[in-house]
Amino acid sequence: MPPARSVGSAPHLARGQAGEDAAAAHLRRVGYAILARNWRVRSLELDLVCRDGQTVVFVEVKTRGAGSLATPAEGLSPAKMNRLARAAAHWLSAHDAWDRPCRFDLVAVREENGRLVVEHEQDAFDLSQAMPRQVSWQPW
Q: In order along the chain (140 residues), what is the average pLDDT of each group of 10 residues?
A: 48 76 96 97 96 97 75 76 93 94 93 88 80 53
* Within a domain: 34: yes
Query: Rounded to whole angstroms, how far apart are CA atoms 117 and 132?
Result: 34
* Within a domain: 37: yes
Backbone φ and ψ for 25, nearest 5 degrees, come out as -65, -45
Which amino acid appears at position 52 of this protein? D
* Within a domain: 135: no
With contact defined as beta carbons under 8 Å apart, do 108 and 62 qualify? Answer: yes
Sign of CA dihedral 123, 58, 8, 19: positive
* Within a domain: 90: yes
Paired strand residues for 62: 108
Which range marks the domain in which residue 17 is found? Answer: 8-130
- Count other Cβ atoms within 10 Å, centred on residue 24: 19
* Within a domain: 23: yes
Nearest in space to 81 (alpha carbons), one of 40, 129, 41, 27: 129
Ordered alpha helix ranges (H), 2-123: 11-29, 78-94
* Within a domain: 67: yes
Number of domains in the chain: 1
Structure pTM?
0.81
User: What pLDDT is attached to residue 34?
Assistant: 98
* Within a domain: 3: no
* Within a domain: 2: no
User: What pLDDT is attached to residue 1?
Assistant: 40
The enclosing domain of 114 has a CATH number of 3.40.1350.10
CA 39 vs CA 45, 71, 90, 115: distances in Å: 6, 24, 10, 27
117: left (phi over 0), alpha (psi -120 to 50) or beta: beta
